[in-house]
Every structure is written in C-alpha cells, then in structure tokens.
Structure 1
Amino acid sequence: MAIDHELLKILACPEDKGELLYFEDENILYNPRIRRAYPIREGIPVLLISEAEAVTEEKHAELTRR
C-alpha cells in the first residue's frame, strides 16, 4: 500500500528530524544520514526509534543507488 505523497512531505526522522526516503517495494522509510530504516506496517509508518533497523553498508549502497 502506497503512502500518500502529502503525508511523505511532512514526515521526518524522529532521531535527527531530517527527511526520509520512501521505498514502497521494501515497505520502509529510510534515513541515509544515520542509516536507519523505519518499517511501514499495514500502510502506517512506524516512526519509533526503538523500531528502526540499522542498515548495513551494502544495503545502504543499494538504497542510495536507486
């Protein structure tokens, strides 16, 4: 389920307050600055620091190439 474009414009990382990148195919919002991926569950972004996953160097490179 895609997230509304208007909602994406106002969402921010809870950790550094910066912009997040949306990857619909991965169901994540990604912060490349701190390499954290926030899950999207049932169309709802879960922007809790405790729910974020650290992203490996390889995965970071893959995501930022897109």
Structure 2
Amino acid sequence: MTPDDPLLKILACPLDKGPLHLLGADEALYNPRLRRRYPVLDGIPQLLPSSGEQVPEEEHERLLKLLEPAASGEGGGSS
C-alpha cells in the first residue's frame, strides 16, 4: 500500500467511520481521533475493530508529527 493508493480515499475506521492515515514505515493505518492503529499485512488492511490496537500517548504524539505534512494537505470538510 502506498500513500497515493486510491483505496486510502475510501477506507474508514471501523469504529468511528472517519478517514485513516497510512503509516508507511509501520505498515499500518492510523486513526488519530481514537488513537488506534490497524495493521496492513501483505498489502491488505486489517480493519476489524478487534485488529486495531490502542496507541499510548507518547506513540500518538510521535505519529502526529509524522502525519503533520499529510494532514495539512487535507481539505477541511463542511457540512
């Protein structure tokens, strides 16, 4: 899975249905709102609620720093 993979635009967290961010180095998808990380095994996202792991505060802060460039490029949504 790559950052420009069209699949990323339609994948959503199984818990809050919000967007996920690819963590290339970790081979995982991350939901910063819930602080949950979902593994990507052999290119296949594991998006069952039980597959996700809660990320500790320190790890969450580290991941947010990695995501800053990608998050700033997202368009703001309006209802």
Q: What's the TM-score once normalised by structure 1's chain length?
A: 0.93
Deviation above 2 Å: which 4+ runs of structure 1? none
What's the secondary structure of 1:5's corresponding residue?
coil
Residue 37 of structure 1 corresponds to 37
What's the secondary structure of 2:6's corresponding residue?
helix
The structural deviation recorded for 1:52 is: 0.5
For the pair shown, the structure with the greater C-alpha radius of gyration is 2
Taking the aligned partners of 2:5 and 2:52, their CA distance within structure 1 comes to 21
Structure 1 alignment gaps of length 5 or more: none
Q: RMSD of the TM alignment (CA)?
A: 1.0
- Between the two structures, name the one with larger relative contact order (CA 8 Å, sep ≥ 6): 1
Cα deviation, 1:39-62, whole Å, max 9, x if unaligned, reads: 000110000100101100000000
Q: What's the TM-score once normalised by structure 2's chain length?
A: 0.78
Q: Does 1:46 align with 2:46?
A: yes
- Aligned identity (percent) is 52
Taking the aligned partners of 2:14 and 2:25, their CA distance within structure 1 comes to 22
The structural deviation recorded for 1:5 is: 1.6
Taking the aligned partners of 1:24 and 1:44, their CA distance within structure 2 comes to 13
The structural deviation recorded for 1:24 is: 1.0
Taking the aligned partners of 2:37 and 2:44, their CA distance within structure 1 comes to 14
Structure 2 alignment gaps of length 5 or more: 67-79
